[in-house]
């Protein structure tokens, strides 16, 4: 008796596999990218349940936060898609299970192993805070391990963004798991097991100080002698660049993000043109845009003048400059969170008297790139050209000449 072949199911370019997790509002399925072969986890939410239980704001916040945090010790967001009835959140597939299970199954771990996990956790938390993101539910169940035993922070559903911090510098919403809340809810009376080293005891005592004014900061933790032992800085993979899926992609039926669950999605040439904002002349000066890795602007200056102006603007900011024809590589001589920031620029001729300039991050931290091009934009206001409909608002000048 022959068995009918199993029907393959697809969500966009992903082939769905087995269910690997299930909760009240979501199901997580293993999937594989049919273009690259990469395994992923897809969190599937029913729109009807999300709306019924008023979870839209929480899910949108979780997606927004995960788009900001691209760190080797944080589960990364690949993209977000939506169908008529479901929301699909495509996540990095982490195979090693929870740190909680590792401790339950194997018991006490060696101090060096525990220190390595703690170092990775502190690095991830520091990176989140630098982006104005506060997890607020860090616990063993939300710390996953990959196939190499590296820590991955997950579940940003209760996270807060810096705009939720009040004038006193604090968040005022109680949330999280009682056993993991901040130490100021109690007097912080505790004892240490005999096997704890002196350095570990000293650091933990400073971390669990119930007075937040005296409590050790993340920076001070990273400078502690016990923490620094065997420390290896995180290695950032520049291929971590996620898709440009909008935060609300899962909630609307935008043709750019809408998928039919049973067949791969595709974009036609007209949609590709619509998605390309390469000639969006205000990009460089849009201070509200989210963490982009590249931007473009146009200019009526000559290519030589544009290169000279960029060079003049970048040198005072501490950048070493290499030039070849109408391409430049700018390297910040001071290392940032992801090493030295490298910025590539290139001038393209669009018309006899019009050039387009591309400015993009080649290496380093995206947040630092944002700060760089905002500083750069201040110095290049007399270089950028805007079309007539924008001139009344922005009133730019051309190559140093007043309009």
Cβ(78)–Cβ(94) under 8 Å? no
In which element (H, E) is residue 367 found? helix 366-379
Cβ(398)–Cβ(300) under 8 Å? yes
User: How far is it, in rounded angstroms, from Cα 73 to Cα 93?
Assistant: 13
Q: State the burial class of residue 299 (Cβ atoms within 10 Å of its Cβ: 0-12, 13-18, 19+).
A: buried
Give backbone dihedrals phi and psi of 235, rounded to 5 degrees, phi first.
-105, 115
260: left (phi over 0), alpha (psi -120 to 50) or beta: beta
- The answer to whether 137 is a known catalytic residue is yes
Residue 28, SS3 per DSSP: strand
User: How far is it, in rounded angstroms, from Cα 142 to Cα 144?
Assistant: 6
* 323 has binding-site annotation: no
112: which 2 tokens? Answer: 């060096």
User: How far is it, in rounded angstroms, from Cα 102 to Cα 66?
Assistant: 25
Residue 67, SS3 per DSSP: helix
DSSP single-letter state for residue 71: -
DSSP single-letter state for residue 171: -
Place of tokens 């500083």: 375
Residue among 222, 119, 129, 142 at smallest CA distance from 171: 129
Neighbours of 278 (CB within 10 A): 13
Among residues 137, 155, 209, 248, which one is catalytic?
A: 137
Give backbone dihedrals phi and psi of 198, rounded to 5 degrees, phi first.
-60, -40
Binding positions for ATP: 43
| Catalytic residue IDs | 137
Binding positions: 43
């Amino acid at each position: 008796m022959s068995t009918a072949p199993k029907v393959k199911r697809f969500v966009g370019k992903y082939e769905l596999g087995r269910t690997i997790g299930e909760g009240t509002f979501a199901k997580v399925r293993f999937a594989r990218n049919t273009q690259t072969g990469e395994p992923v986890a897809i969190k599937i939410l029913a729109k009807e349940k999300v709306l019924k239980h008023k979870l839209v704001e929480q899910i949108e916040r979780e997606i927004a936060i995960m788009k900001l945090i691209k760190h080797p010790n944080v589960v990364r967001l690949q993209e977000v898609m939506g169908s008529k009835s479901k929301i699909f959140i495509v996540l990095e597939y982490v195979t090693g299970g929870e740190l909680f299970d590792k401790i339950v199954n194997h018991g006490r771990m060696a101090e060096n192993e525990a220190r390595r996990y703690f170092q990775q956790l502190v690095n991830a938390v520091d990176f989140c805070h630098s982006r104005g993101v506060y997890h607020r539910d860090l616990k063993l169940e939300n710390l996953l391990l990959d196939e190499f035993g590296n820590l991955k922070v997950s579940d940003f559903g209760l996270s807060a963004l810096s705009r939720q911090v009040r004038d006193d510098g604090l968040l005022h919403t109680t949330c999280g798991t009682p056993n993991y809340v901040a130490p100021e809810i109690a007097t912080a009376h505790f004892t240490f097991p005999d096997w704890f080293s002196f350095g570990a005891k000293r650091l933990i005592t400073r971390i669990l100080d119930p007075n937040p004014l005296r409590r050790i900061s993340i920076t001070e933790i990273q400078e502690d002698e016990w923490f620094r032992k065997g420390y290896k800085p995180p290695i950032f993979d520049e291929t971590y660049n996620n898709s440009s899926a909008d935060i609300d992609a899962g909630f609307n039926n935008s043709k750019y993000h809408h998928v039919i669950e049973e067949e791969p999605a595709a974009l036609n040439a007209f949609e590709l043109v619509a998605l390309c904002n390469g000639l969006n002349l205000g990009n460089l000066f849009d201070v509200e845009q989210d963490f982009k890795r590249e931007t473009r602007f146009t200019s009526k200056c000559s290519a030589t003048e544009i290169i000279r102006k960029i060079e003049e603007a970048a040198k005072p900011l501490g950048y070493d400059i290499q030039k070849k024809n109408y391409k430049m590589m700018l390297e910040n001589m001071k290392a940032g969170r992801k090493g030295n920031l490298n910025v590539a620029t290139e001038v393209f001729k669009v018309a006899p008297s019009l050039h387009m300039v591309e400015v993009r991050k080649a290496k380093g931290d995206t947040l630092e790139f944002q700060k760089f091009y905002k500083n750069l934009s201040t110095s290049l206001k007399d270089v950028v050209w805007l079309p007539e409909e924008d001139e009344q608002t922005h009133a730019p000048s051309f190559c140093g000449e007043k309009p």
